[in-house]
Structure 1
């Protein structure tokens, strides 16, 4: 079996599938993502500016004659199965729940996916805040639809199905950003997403002599069991309280900085600080998208720094390890800006850094991080990659 495959991981899943099932599969992949700015705004109907990274989840797939879906994770050395004509499994954070969830959502929405054999592998660091879960949902959903005869897949509906799966079958009330960018991203572009309308604009990334550096703290978060759902509830309460003065608002996206300044007395702490973060983060995200389009990386970096401070102090979703990494790189020669990225409570930072300074910046960050936390962070350089696709 010979295939000019684009990555060792693609070859690995194809070979494993061949050995297990004795036939050549179709290959699908979906990328992880890093969010440049716009954190915890998505479930407030706001704006986000993510990009796909060059790490992906790969799925090898063939259809079955029945409606049984067999799963084999190469990373976890684990197997699972479910029957689309049988009862759904219990809500779970297990890896298989993400696949079963999107399969059942697509089935409920009328797509009627067939049963399938799936072999899955990923090189997205798990728990690093890089949306390995969304990549799994989107890759599996694309695979199931495609082998069932849906050759033209609606990417917005695919993203919606991934979000619905995570809500109903995993128990994380995530926004739409992670699934959307995994499904829709374009090479060398960030994606400005309006999380209310789901309109999206491709924003060119003119990085020239700069690189995107991801530093993984190694602190593993489980969003469904962390304060994520609490923050979402606090935002909903803030919206409810502000409606006393602003009856037409549907979500915090509708509140301007001026509105907040006039009416923040209606909000007790910590709800006041949660709302303040979301309102100003939306403004930062729109300004950052304009600056990125204009090639003004200095302004993008300044807004990233403001975002991290707000996430740390007002939204309180950072952690000592994330703060150490941002502190370590801020002010280093060649660093344009740095912030935590993802849901928080662990995970990674994203830094824009001049290419000729990457090694020294990693060394400085590693030195301070090791002093404080007795281990090294994991460094990943990435480019803005393409969204989900079939090979």
Structure 2
């Protein structure tokens, strides 16, 4: 019986054969991620702690014809937007679907770095859920960047692949995201979270204690990141940094946050307070994760969610209710908070393996009155280093 990855590769292979009438020559993979702590910190140049998950995007690739780049998104076929092609000799322009802009943006960013890409055909398959905060877009960008680079004989480091995928999202998709998601997809290690300095891109693996399990809870509230208040939050943080006279909110100490507030209004002060307090939580969460200290995780993740809900204003009443039910059920056996950009999406719980029943029970109680049902899944850290090339 095929495992999850084998089934995904087989779907990419069959889709490639169906569309192009030939066999792909290589397969490339990059995982989604869940962020354990450090939300809305990456574009403020701070520290974050994501973990790549065992859900991924697979790109099947074969040589192209002429100087054409052809792409097929197998998961978008029902929307009537599964095909795209463009010339590598002409200026690459934005398209009218986000998945196309991720692909076009990657090729554009690589060309902007002076790389000459070979014509190619690709078919994309993924089991990273879309629109729930698990970075399906980063997995797509990194996988396509890796496929293009390897096919064209480029030896690009993980941080360059991450920067290329980020540029595609910033410049072509229109989302002013930071670098965390792409670095988590490009640089993670099996069985570990990734402690990342988003300014220098220095990073180190943090072991996830064997007694802990990571559970992602889909709230059922889908978000559209580009059209949400995400870009507004980034602008508010930038404005707050200007007020304090720092390059980024990462450079603002808790003492200076209060001392130099001056005329800063309540909204911008609250945004800055979230970032400063969230950065301070990253190191103790990393330590608790390595030590398996579920009680510390419970307290810190509760603080993080309150900060996201109250100071950063990216939660919703149904999400707060679900967080409360899960936290009450877990007690000191683990913690839970909103993860991702917010405005819908997922929660992440880090808890003792023996307490997984408590999460399921809380989700079931929530669903008795919820208009949109929630669901929970336990995710393992991505297997092996990511991204991955298959022959």
Please say if 1:171 is aligned against 2:168: no
Equivalence for 1:101: 105
The offset of 1:360, in angstroms, is 4.1
Residues 53, 383 of structure 1: 8 Å contact kept: yes
Structure 1 residues 188 and 58, CA gap change in structure 2 (3 angstroms): same
Q: Secondary structure at the match of 2:260?
A: helix
Structure 1 residues 253 and 382, CA gap change in structure 2 (3 angstroms): same
Comparing 3-12 with 182-191, which one deviates more in the overlay?
3-12
Q: 2:362 aligns with which of 338, 361, 364?
A: 364
Q: Secondary structure at the match of 1:282?
A: helix
Distance across 2 between alignment mates of 1:67 and 1:320 = 51
Equivalence for 2:41: 41
Please say if 1:141 is aligned against 2:145: yes
Aligned length: 381
Distance across 2 between alignment mates of 1:4 and 1:117 = 26
Structure 1 residues 274 and 92, CA gap change in structure 2 (3 angstroms): farther
Q: 1:222 aligns with which of 204, 218, 224?
A: 224
Structure 1 residues 235 and 376, CA gap change in structure 2 (3 angstroms): same
Distance across 1 between alignment mates of 2:366 and 2:86 = 47
Residues 273, 311 of structure 2: 8 Å contact kept: yes
Q: 2:242 aligns with which of 237, 240, 243?
A: 240
Please say if 1:196 is aligned against 2:199: yes
Please say if 1:114 is aligned against 2:118: yes
Equivalence for 2:254: 257
Please say if 1:388 is aligned against 2:390: no
The offset of 1:265, in angstroms, is 3.2
- Give ranges in structure 2 of 5+ residues lacking alignment: none
Structure 1 residues 5 and 212, CA gap change in structure 2 (3 angstroms): closer
Q: Secondary structure at the match of 2:226?
A: helix
Please say if 1:345 is aligned against 2:343: yes
- Give ranges in structure 1 of 5+ residues lacking alignment: 244-248
Equivalence for 1:278: 275
Q: Which deviations, in whole Å up to 9, do the C-alpha atoms of 1:130-169 show, x marking residues without a partner? A: 000010000011011111122x321111101111111110
State TM-score, norm by structure 2.
Answer: 0.93
Q: 2:265 aligns with which of 263, 268, 271?
A: 268
Equivalence for 1:9: 8
The offset of 1:238, in angstroms, is 0.6
The offset of 1:357, in angstroms, is 2.9
Q: Secondary structure at the match of 1:308?
A: helix
Structure 1 residues 182 and 147, CA gap change in structure 2 (3 angstroms): same
State TM-score, norm by structure 1.
Answer: 0.93
Structure 1 residues 226 and 333, CA gap change in structure 2 (3 angstroms): closer
Equivalence for 1:181: 184
Q: Secondary structure at the match of 2:338?
A: strand
The offset of 1:378, in angstroms, is 2.5
User: Counterparts of 1:278-297 in structure 2 under 5 Å?
Assistant: 278-297=275-294
The offset of 1:91, in angstroms, is 6.2
Please say if 1:158 is aligned against 2:193: no
Distance across 2 between alignment mates of 1:174 and 1:160 = 11
Distance across 1 between alignment mates of 2:73 and 2:111 = 23
Comparing 78-87 with 54-63, which one deviates more in the overlay?
78-87
Structure 1 residues 316 and 291, CA gap change in structure 2 (3 angstroms): same
Residues 48, 197 of structure 2: 8 Å contact kept: yes
Equivalence for 2:28: 28
Residues 141, 158 of structure 1: 8 Å contact kept: yes
The offset of 1:250, in angstroms, is 1.2
Alpha-carbon RMSD across the aligned residues, in angstroms, is 1.8
Distance across 2 between alignment mates of 1:145 and 1:240 = 38
Residues 322, 340 of structure 1: 8 Å contact kept: yes
The offset of 1:277, in angstroms, is 0.3
Equivalence for 1:68: 68
The offset of 1:365, in angstroms, is 1.3
Distance across 1 between alignment mates of 2:95 and 2:232 = 19
Residues 127, 219 of structure 1: 8 Å contact kept: no
Equivalence for 1:355: 353
